[in-house]
Structure 1
Amino acid sequence: MNRLLTILLVSTSSLLISGCLNQPVYRQTSTPLQTVSSVDLNKYLGKWYEIYRLPNWFEDDDCVTVTAEYGLRDDGGVSVLNTCHKASKKEEAKGIAKIVEGSNNSKLRVSFFRPFYGDYWILDLASDYSWVLIGEPAGKYFWILARDKKLSPELEESLLVKAEKLGYLRKDLVKPSNQL
């Protein structure tokens, strides 16, 4: 039985690693990404709606509303609850995040499949914490999140311009319909 469990764990780990390694790079510049100088974690916690994302292997295209909810854990880390609302059901993924020491809360390491962690960098953030741009140094993942399901056309355009200045192309960004 232990041998079977070991084989199952190795197989699952291999699939997860290959999924991460096969994720394409979408960022069109080699200029290193910079994070915001600091983040007030208490203001950042709570529910965010996905406005745009880069395609990735762990988010379905049929999600009509996607949310990320962050909370403070007893150990000082951050709880993560990502929810994909589909027309007929919802799917949830629970994870944890650790703050990168010395980053003033602007860099986190997030895991949904421990012991594997990924970078989560806060690249730009509204002064009132109403929207945020999130990425990671390799250019494989990127999100625009907001506190509201829908943004004004002017704000949405402004955030897309910010994404382009960071090296992401509009044509690559996926927008859930946010109908629920």
Structure 2
Amino acid sequence: MRRAAALLCLVLAACGGTPLAPLLPSYRDASVPIASKADFDPARFAGRWYQIAAYPVPFQNGCASATAEYAPRPDGTLAVRNTCLGPQGDPIRAITGTATPDGPGRLDVELSGVPFSAPLWILWTDADYRVAVLGQPDGRAGWILARDRRLRADLRAAARTVLEFNGYRLDALRETPPG
């Protein structure tokens, strides 16, 4: 139980804005301005997303891939479920929580069993909400997500450009093998 609680704390610490944030690396140049998606639509964002690429975070140690699911709730928040998948696509572990809108393209995420919340910014989505780039303002985590397990090369390049534009180091970004 202690080990699980410590792991959960490290998950959110990777999100920044937490007491543990200084213990984890930042993948972003803090001198570069970062911007969230001003016209973000939580209803269009809802649904299942597959991880295409990510910066290392403790929760995903041992994961071959991952999914993130967002579902609208009556109170205007989003239910969150992040699942770590094994090599055959089988769930290894999952964590659930709530994402509360905190400005245009900005969510405040609380995960079950974790004593603090963390900011999650939607940096970009394509026009059809088929691809998304998410990041933490302090650069301790970031993801390229897509509705499908595979992503066209031009959309992958666009997502990488968004990360780079927002000050993220691309050399630390880890590609997720398609399942």
Tell me whether the two structures share a fold, i.e. TM-score over 0.5: yes
Q: Is 1:111 equivalent to 2:128 in the alignment? A: no
C-alpha distance in structure 1 between counterparts of 2:72 and 2:115, whole Å: 20
C-alpha distance in structure 2 between counterparts of 1:24 and 1:166, whole Å: 17
The Cα of 1:95 is off from its aligned counterpart by 1.2
C-alpha distance in structure 2 between counterparts of 1:45 and 1:124, whole Å: 15
1:27 corresponding residue in structure 2 = 28
C-alpha distance in structure 2 between counterparts of 1:175 and 1:93, whole Å: 22
Query: Which amino acid in the other structure matches residue 111 of structure 1?
Result: E
> Which structure is larger by alpha-carbon Rg, 1 or 2?
1
The alpha-carbon distance between structure 1 residues 19 and 130, as it changes in their structure 2 partners (threshold 3 A), is same
Query: Which amino acid in the other structure matches residue 30 of structure 1?
Result: S
The Cα of 1:48 is off from its aligned counterpart by 0.6
Output aligned runs, 1:26-65, within 5 Å.
26-60=27-61, 62-65=62-65
In 1, are the aligned partners of 2:131 and 2:155 still within 8 Å (CA)?
no
Number of equivalences:
165
Query: Which amino acid in the other structure matches residue 107 of structure 1?
Result: R
C-alpha distance in structure 2 between counterparts of 1:165 and 1:25, whole Å: 16
Unpaired segments of 5 or more residues in structure 1? 1-7
Q: Percent identity?
A: 31
TM-score of the superposition, structure 2-length normalised? Answer: 0.82
Query: Which amino acid in the other structure matches residue 87 of structure 2?
Result: A
The Cα of 1:117 is off from its aligned counterpart by 0.4
In 2, are the aligned partners of 1:64 and 1:178 still within 8 Å (CA)?
no
Deviations 1:148-179 (A, max 9, x none): 11111222122222222222222201122121
1:5 corresponding residue in structure 2 = none
Q: Secondary structure at the residue paired with 1:21?
A: helix
The Cα of 1:65 is off from its aligned counterpart by 2.5
Output aligned runs, 1:6-155, within 5 Å.
16=10, 19-60=20-61, 62-87=62-87, 89-90=90-91, 91-100=93-102, 103-104=103-104, 106-112=105-111, 113-155=113-155
C-alpha distance in structure 1 between counterparts of 2:74 and 2:152, whole Å: 37
Unpaired segments of 5 or more residues in structure 2? 14-18
The Cα of 1:29 is off from its aligned counterpart by 4.6
Query: Which amino acid in the other structure matches residue 32 of structure 2?
Result: T
Q: Secondary structure at the residue paired with 1:96?
A: strand
CA RMSD in angstroms, aligned pairs only? 2.2
Deviations 1:20-50 (A, max 9, x none): 4311111125122111112121111001111
Q: Secondary structure at the residue paired with 1:137?
A: coil
Query: Which amino acid in the other structure matches residue 110 of structure 2?
Result: S
In 2, are the aligned partners of 1:48 and 1:147 still within 8 Å (CA)?
yes
